[in-house]
Amino acid sequence: MYKVVTSDLKSLGLRKNPNILVFPLNIWVNEPNPLKGNKDSGGIWVTRHKFNATKLLKYMKKKGIECRIFRCLIGNVLYENSYRLKTDRVMLCEEINN
């Protein structure tokens, strides 16, 4: 799995998400109020494939926000589709250079 974060290791805040989390390296970060299902809130979103993480990185760059991609470990899956999933916790493990 892959997690895209800002250059200072924070959530992207997509879809007006007010719950911005900080993701220190090699430390589990838990969603404070995990919710199952496709709702934007209540979980931490990650991509399944590097390709999708790279697309998200390019999208954010167009908005003027520099980001980084990390390979990550995840906790319990709260929702999933073909390109991303929502989980209750994430640990950033290894930065992927583009």
- How many domains, in total, are found in the chain? 1
Q: How far is the C-alpha of 64 from the C-alpha of 5, rounded, in Å? A: 14
Task: Check residue 18 and give its pLDDT.
Answer: 72
Domain region containing 59: 2-96
Q: Smallest Cα–Cα separation from 88: which of 32, 40, 47, 37?
A: 32
Spatial CA neighbour of 1 closest among 55, 58, 61, 45:
45
Q: pTM (2 decimals)?
A: 0.91
Amino acid 68: pLDDT: 97
Per residue in 45-69, pLDDT tens?
999 999 999 999 999 999 999 999 9
